[in-house]
Chains A and B, each alone.
Chain A
């Protein structure tokens, strides 16, 4: 029997070094990040904690390639994210990244299954039949098989967030970024979402980085990082 590798033996798939970023101009400029550094290994769930305005969302935006930092580098799967052309960065995001946002932002006129199908058809170019097959598989895995034909307005808040997670996972990304995924949910539903993220990380090897200020998430993450004063001040392994 082969032993599961320890957390430190798993390969690093994302590393950010000395990330600095600010907003505003001249006298009104606020430096949000002042040299933050972190690593993310395959299949681990990492929670990024910090008070409001500490730069969690900015960090997430930079790590996911949605925002370019003023300074610092981000390596993803062996590639320097910001040395890539916009097109190649978009390609990387399309193939390797999944996102779950605080507000699930599901498309109001698409059923749960169609949310996933649309992404597979438009994002990857799958035919409808194949897209439907994969979507059903993912929805089934997330316990949403019987909710597949419902519109977002017919789903509960927790179900909506699970559909948003299913949508983020449907392309089987290497990295999943989640911005406050539990903040709009009650504890029961929040716990379900966290269980789901852990299951994905364990079974599919997807690395999950979530920004949160929800302390309940601490127990359910492999590592917790604390962002303060624009840098990662401390790290806590679970």
Chain B
């Protein structure tokens, strides 16, 4: 290992490209995963910001923005189960927002209960905001969507479907991906969704008495026909995967992430290969002087390993800095242990492949070629 360290320290300029390639590939993978999961997590925002343990939806529901109509009576049926502490309902659907200048934008309307014990995402609004939404035909939108919806300020109006609504406040809690979230009372939502009667809803939300009650309650509910039941965490994941695998935005994100990773891998492999090739003559001398090919192979692989270690260390620092900057800019950038592990595994595999490919260059270090 002594000579491997010496080769890296004294030949830093040559190896720097390899170290930076690992670091930037690491940053690229972490960035792709962070931004992708950050964006995708916005898709499941209503689930992740509700108090519900179980979601009841129409059969075949694939995500929280594709729910069909179900009977609100499921709320009462669920409440009769032993493990259930509370129930609620949520009405949601995509609609067009027509601004005052007649421009149209797709939005996701969330019609929530506004009571103290409500389970829906309106819980995350300030108490005063919930009171504001009790006024008829009022909505709250996310501050960052103000420009997209052409809202000049509080009191401004827009039209959802055929209903003119008034913006009573802004929040910073509901960033949307496919369309801005617009939150309102269930009464307002029913006036927007004209086909929705009092007895209809999109989701029934169930809160269990304890965590231990979730599985048995879910099993009980799954025995019923005409509905789909999900544990919140599973529904959140299902929503994210649906977004990634089905929506064009999700597919594009996944494709870009894979492309970025492959590009990073190629740069990394090429850098390490080039460094080894540049030492082929010196390796040939060592072979002529009796150093075995096995020892030289071990040297090249250890070199790749140390380049990977140094690159990964720099990569982790870069990811932390990027995370701080992106969060300060309001860009969704999620960092997690599993994404870190995945990035480490990915770059280590790339470094190992690069090292193995570099071994091939040793075959060109034939000592015979030194005699001209």
Contact = CB atoms under 8 A, between A and B. Distances in A.
B364 interface: no
A179 B289 contact: no
A86 to B, nearest CB: 11
Interface residues of B, number: 24
Given A108-B11, A109-B10, A123 B288 contact: no
Contacts of B11: 108-109
Contact of B371 (A66, A95, A97): A66
A110 B5 CA distance: 11
A184 to B, nearest CB: 12
B53 to A, nearest CB: 61
Given A118-B286, A179-B370, 11 more contacts: A90-B292, A94-B289, A98-B289, A99-B367, A101-B370, A102-B372, A105-B281, A107-B282, A108-B282, A171-B290, A179-B371
A164 B248 CA distance: 63
A187 B291 CA distance: 32
A95 B290 contact: yes
Given A109-B7, A110-B6, A118-B3, A57 B290 contact: no
A67 interface: yes
Interface of B: 2-3, 6-7, 9-11, 281-282, 284-286, 288-292, 295, 366-368, 370-372
Given A99-B288, A167-B289, A60 B370 contact: no
Interface in A95-136: 95, 97-99, 101-103, 105-110, 114, 118-119, 122-124, 128
A123 B293 CA distance: 11
Interface string A156-189: 0000000000011001000000010000000000
Contact of A57 (B9, B282, B288, B371): B371
A60 B289 contact: no
The 7 A-B pairs of least Cβ separation, nearest first, read A94-B290, A109-B10, A57-B371, A123-B290, A109-B11, A105-B285, A66-B368
Contact of B289 (A102, A114, A119): A119
18 contacts: A61-B371, A66-B288, A94-B290, A97-B290, A101-B285, A105-B281, A105-B284, A107-B282, A108-B282, A110-B6, A118-B3, A122-B286, A122-B291, A122-B292, A123-B290, A128-B2, A167-B289, A168-B289
Given A105-B281, A114-B6, A151-B10, A123 B372 contact: no
B286 A119 contact: yes
A95 B6 CA distance: 26
B303 to A, nearest CB: 11
Interface residues of A, number: 35
Contacts of A167: 289
A58 B369 CA distance: 10
A93 interface: yes
B244 to A, nearest CB: 46
A64 B11 CA distance: 32
B2 to A, nearest CB: 7
A11 B2 CA distance: 41
B288 to A, nearest CB: 5
A67 B3 contact: no
A93 B291 CA distance: 10
Given A105-B281, A109-B10, A118-B3, A61 B368 contact: yes
A171 B288 CA distance: 13
A119 B290 contact: yes
Contacts of A95: 290
Nearest to B291: A122
A67 B289 CA distance: 15
A57 B372 CA distance: 6
A102 B288 CA distance: 14
Contacts of B2: 128
Contacts of B292: 90, 122
A54 to B, nearest CB: 13
Contacts of B288: 64, 66, 93, 99, 101
Contacts of A124: 290
B16 to A, nearest CB: 13
B363 to A, nearest CB: 14
A97 B3 CA distance: 23
B6 A109 contact: yes
